[in-house]
Amino acid sequence: MAMATPTPTKTPVDKSKRSHSHHHSHESSSSSLSRFEAYNRLQAAAVAFGEKLPIPEIVALGGQSDGKSSLLEALLGFRFNVREVEMGTRRPLILQMVHDPSAHEPRCRFQEEDSEEYGSPVVSASTVADIIKSRTEALLKKTKASVTSKPIVMRAEFAHCPNLTIIDTPGFVLKAKKGEPENTPEEILSMVKSLASPPHRILLFLQQSSVEWCSSLWLDSIREIDPTFRRTVIVVSKFDNRLKEFSDRWEVDRYLGASGYLGENTRPFFVALPKDRNTISNDEFRRQISQVDAEVLHHLHNGIKGGYDEEKFRPYIGFCSLREYLESELQKRYKEAAPATLALLEQRCSEVNIELARMDSKIQATSDVSHLRKSAMMHAASISNHVGVLIDGAADPAPEQWGKTTEEERSESGIGNWPGVTVDIKPANAILRLYGGAAFERILHEFRCAAYSIECPPVSREKVANILLAHASRGGGRGVTEAAAEIARTAARSWFAPLLDTACDRLAFVLGNLFDIALERNRSWESEYGRKTGNMDGYVGFHAALRHAYNRFIKDLAKQCKQLVRHHLDSVTSPYSQVCYENVFQGGFGSSVSSHYKYNQASAASFCLELSDSGQVLREETMRDQENIPPEKNAQQTTPGKGTEAREAPQESQMTVPETPSPDQPCDVVYPVVKKELGNCIEVGPRKRIARMTGNRNTEHLMKAHNGNSLLFGNGDSGSRSSSAYSEICSSAAQHFARIREVLVERSVTSTLNSGFLTPCRDRLVVALGLDLFAVNDEKFMDMFVAPGAIDVLQNERQSLQKRQKILQSCLNEFKTVARAL
């Protein structure tokens, strides 16, 4: 299948007026030949070393069975059965054709894989085909791919071939052949497009004459690569088959023009080649090519009524016209590109020299321990400094690329949701990509939301009875209070311990991610300011050790912080702690139902400003929900110890009970408010009421039922009273639980996590890394830099660089000579 390819904007001069001898004299000119040889050597070096040089090249494109392989054989002047291996070829073939008048028989040599050297000459045509096929299969097996863009390079020296270099690409197919992956056609198309995209390459596109321009399958693909066909040469193959359909001049002129589809400045070439595939000599093959050309021209002159527009179309008909045009066009491109190629070679030689000097210094440094220590210390200190900057707040590198959302943090850390929390916790700025100190603060806010979403779990009557009866004999009403406090302490230890561990793990994950971000920030900083904090490029062992030391430091911090917050949890839930009996909580949150509700509804913003798109909606909902909070003026303020009036319990009508919060708030928790006489209710600050638990008559009324002066929790005659007592003690335990939570979250954990994680990262990280990496003897230190075989690897890299330097310098000298001859 062929693609429509027009010639360059400048149409060739009427080649029918050129003599064949003039063509050969142009070929043999010393300047063009030396230029051609210089580009061939440069091309071989580029292939061997992976250099991307804008060398003018011709890329042959077309579908299978469109005559592309036959055209390449005709250009070579001999057959090597490439048609028979085309279906097995899935990698490009660079054909370097060299016109050598002394080579009466073709000499073909293949460039060795990953080397600029060429192998021994290959004479047999079948051997050429076998090498192409075997090399293709070996590389595809190694890479486990269906196609590959790594080319095979073949140099052909022959007296009957032009000075021409063509990159032959695998033919386009619509369907994969048997045994190939189904996506092979797409892989071939993608690979060929990548080869044809560089602007320095001329596209030689073949399409057989039986295909109409309007139904060409690959024309759109060519237009995607070269929309104006400025660098595309179209070749209509098997032209002799189509000639039989024309009888009048207007028909053949309209077909040859193809202006309706390709544009006015586009002139395709029309080529026919011998169809005889029998084994014939090379001389006979070339004679048949000339004979077919002559027959086509004869038919146009004599077989068409009125002939054809010879002045307009003759330069584009026949294989010889195409061959001469391609050779002259490539030589012209070589000449035009020589100055730019010379400049680029000088640049690449300079870069390779710098690389070689760096490699020499690296090899020398393997024996200079003091130099390595200094460079490694500077690099570790720079990374530590960047980690501190990221914690303090930075937006470089781009958070959009390096930051993570809350959901991504949960997923990538493998930690998931908060244990024991059933509601979906969505902290402020959850959808923004944050890192460093910003991500740290967001997790602390998320921890607060998760903690305040946990209510005191329900306790069975049996558990309450076991605890209460054990405390009943220890001091009357005080025993009841102790029992409620013990229930709250047990629940707090059970529910908050895993929550604290999760918070430490999440924070450690955020800090662990800072290592890669600090590396990127350091690379960017060195590139921008042109300074190197110790040249550590390529020392894989050192970088692995540095990463390991950093991860161990963060892991140790997490372990220490877990112990610290567990200590705070044990302290606040200790039987000797007075948290459950405190009457006043200055400046706290959540010490009563009202204050806790206020925290969830209004004060979350004080911990984490919402900056995402949904922030405005959340703020509006928060303001609406403020209506559910009782106004301050309704509060009855009393001062403890002012007289008997202050000790009188408020009536039910005097109690302020907050309304049920909106279910839309993910972190809101409302604890049951018992509208009973529970003791004196004291207001501490705006809308803060804390029930004072005492051992007076109110407590007796709260917990005792006078049936044999014992505490009842059964369903006997005093069932209603015992049920009320059970509810009251559960309510009291819930209030104790809320007090423990407030002290733990607001007074202890937040400051502990900040000081336990962030302060060491700022102040101790560089010291910890230094002790881990550098407080060792020289032998152990050098293990990070001189691993077994590392010296040999460095020496091999140096030899490869030296070889590249030698080849590029040789090409540079050659191009200087070429430039002087221009």
**Residue ranges covered by each domain of the chain:** 28-348, 378-577+725-786
Q: What is the largest CA-CA distance in the chain?
A: 135
CA distances from residue 361 to 99, 423, 694, 795, 808 in whole angstroms, order as listed? 45, 60, 80, 12, 22
pLDDT average, residue stretch 54-71: 83
Most confident range (mean pLDDT) of 1-10, 552-561, 591-600, 800-809 is 552-561
Whether residue 384 contacts residue 521, with contact meaning beta carbons closer than 8 Å, is answered with no
CA distances from residue 266 to 5, 203, 219 in whole angstroms, order as listed? 8, 13, 14
Strand ranges, E, within 216-374: 232-237, 269-270
How many other β-carbons are positioned within 10 Å of the β-carbon of residue 739?
24
- Among 400, 711, 676, 376, residue whose Cα is nearest residue 539: 376
What CA–CA distance (Å, rounded) separates 546 from 543?
Answer: 5
Confidence of residue 550 (pLDDT cuts 50, 70, 90): very high
Q: Indicate left, alpha or beta for 675 from its phi (over 0: left) and psi (-120 to 50: alpha).
A: beta
Most confident range (mean pLDDT) of 239-253, 359-373, 489-503 is 489-503
Of 781 and 26, the one with more pLDDT: 781
Q: Is 772 exposed, middle or buried (0-12, 13-18, 19+ CB in 10 A)?
A: middle
**Residue whose token pair is 């056609």:** 185
Confidence of residue 475 (pLDDT cuts 50, 70, 90): low
**Residue whose token pair is 């004869």:** 298
What CA–CA distance (Å, rounded) separates 814 from 793?
Answer: 32
Residue 680: strand, helix, or coil: coil
What CA–CA distance (Å, rounded) separates 15 from 321?
Answer: 7
- Helix segments in 573-638, DSSP class H: 593-598, 604-607, 615-625
pLDDT tens per residue across span 179-235: 778 888 888 888 888 888 888 889 999 988 888 877 777 878 888 888 888 888 999
Confidence of residue 663 (pLDDT cuts 50, 70, 90): very low
What CA–CA distance (Å, rounded) separates 441 from 48?
Answer: 53
Given a cut of 70, is residue 654 above it in pLDDT?
A: no
What CA–CA distance (Å, rounded) separates 429 from 110?
Answer: 61
pLDDT tens per residue across span 615-634: 554 444 444 444 433 344 33
**Which residues contact residue 462 at a Cβ distance below 8 angstroms, ignoring those fewer than 6 apart?**
none
pLDDT tens per residue across span 791-813: 677 778 888 888 888 888 887 88
Output the pLDDT for position 679: 33
DSSP of 213-256, one letter per residue?
GGG-SSHHHHHHH-TT-TTEEEEEE-HHHHHTT--BHHHHHHHH
pLDDT tens per residue across span 562-579: 999 999 999 988 888 776
Of 684 and 765, the one with more pLDDT: 765
Whether residue 669 contacts residue 453, with contact meaning beta carbons closer than 8 Å, is answered with yes
Q: Please give the structure tokens belonging to residue 51.
A: 């250099």
Q: Please give the structure tokens belonging to residue 618.
A: 């959340």
Q: Is 7 exposed, middle or buried (0-12, 13-18, 19+ CB in 10 A)?
A: buried
What CA–CA distance (Å, rounded) separates 303 from 319?
Answer: 20
Confidence of residue 660 (pLDDT cuts 50, 70, 90): very low
pLDDT average, residue stretch 325-352: 84
Top CATH class, 378-577+725-786: mainly alpha
- Architecture of the domain made up of 28-348: 3-Layer(aba) Sandwich (3.40)
CA distances from residue 297 to 73, 272, 316, 332 in whole angstroms, order as listed? 22, 11, 11, 28
- Across-strand partners of 683? 689
Output the pLDDT for position 409: 92
Output the pLDDT for position 535: 63
Percentage of residues in the chain having pLDDT higher than 70: 72
Q: Please give the structure tokens belonging to residue 250.
A: 């207007």
Q: What is the mean pLDDT of the chain?
A: 75
Which amino acid makes up residue 798?
R
What CA–CA distance (Å, rounded) separates 320 from 345?
Answer: 35
Output the pLDDT for position 81: 60
- Among 194, 206, 161, residue whose Cα is nearest residue 40: 161
Given a cut of 70, is residue 122 above it in pLDDT?
A: yes
pLDDT average, residue stretch 398-405: 92
**Cα 346 → chain centroid:** 34
C-alpha count within 13 angstroms, C-beta hemisphere, residue 767: 5
First to last CA, the chain: 41
DSSP of 733-765, one letter per residue?
HHHHHHHHHHIIIIIIIHHHHIIIIIHHHHHTH
Flag the least confident range among 521-525, 527-531, 610-614: 610-614
pLDDT average, residue stretch 332-341: 80
Output the pLDDT for position 789: 61
Given a cut of 70, is residue 28 above it in pLDDT?
A: no
Output the pLDDT for position 605: 40
Confidence of residue 478 (pLDDT cuts 50, 70, 90): low
Q: Indicate left, alpha or beta for 119 from its phi (over 0: left) and psi (-120 to 50: alpha).
A: beta
Given a cut of 80, is residue 711 above it in pLDDT?
A: no
Given a cut of 90, is residue 363 above it in pLDDT?
A: no
Residue 270: strand, helix, or coil: strand
What CA–CA distance (Å, rounded) separates 213 from 261?
Answer: 7
Output the pLDDT for position 386: 93
Most confident range (mean pLDDT) of 25-29, 659-663, 698-702 is 25-29
Output the pLDDT for position 84: 45
Percentage of residues in the chain having pLDDT higher than 90: 19
pLDDT average, residue stretch 403-428: 89
Given a cut of 60, is residue 136 above it in pLDDT?
A: yes
Q: Is the peptide bond prior to 397 cis by the omega test (within 30 degrees of 0)? A: yes
Instruction: Compute the radius of gyration of the chain from its Cα atoms.
Output: 43
Which amino acid makes up residue 749?
V
Output the pLDDT for position 374: 86
Confidence of residue 641 (pLDDT cuts 50, 70, 90): very low
- 392-401 long-range CB contacts below 8 Å, 24 or more apart? 392/436, 392/437, 392/762, 393/436, 393/437, 393/438, 394/436, 394/521, 396/521, 396/524, 397/517, 397/520, 397/521, 397/524, 399/432, 399/433, 399/434, 399/435, 400/433
To the nearest 10°, report the CA torsion of 331, 336, 342, 343: -160
Output the pLDDT for position 766: 92
Confidence of residue 553 (pLDDT cuts 50, 70, 90): very high
Whether residue 583 contacts residue 640, with contact meaning beta carbons closer than 8 Å, is answered with yes
∠ CA 515-521-527, rounded to 5°:
140
What values do phi and psi take at 154, rounded to 5? Answer: -125, 130
Output the pLDDT for position 473: 62
Flag the least confident range among 43-57, 344-358, 388-402, 674-688: 674-688
Output the pLDDT for position 265: 75
What CA–CA distance (Å, rounded) separates 462 from 456?
Answer: 17
Q: Please give the structure tokens belonging to residue 474.
A: 């220890």
Enter the DSSP assignment of 710.
B
- Among 748, 219, 316, residue whose Cα is nearest residue 496: 748
To the nearest 10°, report the CA torsion of 450, 456, 460, 462: 120
What CA–CA distance (Å, rounded) separates 398 from 515?
Answer: 15
Does the predicted TM-score (pTM) go above 0.85?
no
**Which residues contact residue 353 at a Cβ distance below 8 angstroms, ignoring those fewer than 6 apart?**
805
CA distances from residue 180 to 184, 188, 314 in whole angstroms, order as listed? 7, 12, 44
Whether residue 736 contacts residue 484, with contact meaning beta carbons closer than 8 Å, is answered with yes
Flag the least confident range among 555-559, 633-637, 780-784: 633-637
CA distances from residue 73 to 47, 205, 808 in whole angstroms, order as listed? 23, 16, 32
**Which residues contact residue 370 at a Cβ distance below 8 angstroms, ignoring those fewer than 6 apart?**
none
Dihedral sign of CA atoms 622, 628, 630, 631 in order: positive
Confidence of residue 581 (pLDDT cuts 50, 70, 90): low
Output the pLDDT for position 504: 95
pLDDT average, residue stretch 504-532: 86
pLDDT average, residue stretch 580-604: 42
